[in-house]
Structure 1
Amino acid sequence: MKLENGWETSFLEVVQNSEFKKDAILSQLLFADGEEVEELVDDYGYEEIIEREHDDELAEVLGEELFDEMERHVFLSSKPEKKLISFVNGLGFHVLDWIVLLETEFGIDSAHFTSDAVKMLEKRFRQFPYIEEKTVFDMTFGEAIDALESVTGLQLKEKMNV
């Protein structure tokens, strides 16, 4: 991924432009119960969800704001199944999502992310994507990588063509 503003690009913009979480809005990425929505979709299937047979359950899990977003972007779309998949994939952002982003969009070898490195990140950032008083999405891409490097001791910036 090429970043026009280099390390100063907002981390949110990087995530939203990735194939992994393409066009996800901030409230989707901060949503903590993505697994619960995935379970509903698995239980009922895409067709029943698209046919609006389970709106009450979805609205309860997602909350009003996210359910409204889902209505606009999924149900009113000409390709609702594709948009539903994209919407559900955009829910939540965890340490492992951060790692997948670095691997898929920036070519960082997965071997760098040992189980110890992942445990260090999860221990240090227990409330991820919240990092201290802000979220990783309030940071620049450079600041986010600096935070990751400071916890793991990895030197990733020099391996990235940003």
Structure 2
Amino acid sequence: VVNILRDEELVVEHVFCLLDREQGGAEKLKEHGITLHSLLNMETVLTFLKAVDAIDDETSSKIISLVEKAAPFVVAIKVHADAITDFSTDFTAKLVRLANDHEFVIFEDRKFGDTGNTNILQLRGAQRIAEWADVVTVHAVQGSDSNGAIFRQ
């Protein structure tokens, strides 16, 4: 974005973001004379999540309990369905109800990366991701045809 703005002869000296993921972005911006301002950084977020025992829960009841507490304050909830030890349609029904009641999106971080047809089978498979997830992640390496199949679902 900075390059696009500068190409239009706009002056960019500061960048504001919600979360500094602390993966070198601030340093890279500094090399170009830009100061990064962030509301939060990853270390702060992870410290908080560990303190409230809210990170990487594996059971649906713990996840639903956490989502019930966080729902009024978030725009998205990210899950890894394949890591939930007791995943069920009851869990997704509760999650969807909370999402509808509190107007957040459900983000399944599945990282689809297969052929188009296999991706579709996975979306419709045992976890029925297409029925409850608003957003899924995909790998670009599989190409536009495979990703297009997902987007059409």
Where on the TM-score scale, by shorter chain, does this alignment land: which range? Answer: under 0.3
Q: TM-score, normalised by structure 1?
A: 0.24
Query: Which structure has the higher relative contact order (CA within 8 Å, separation 6+)?
Result: 1
**TM-score, normalised on structure 2?**
0.25
More helix, by proportion: 1
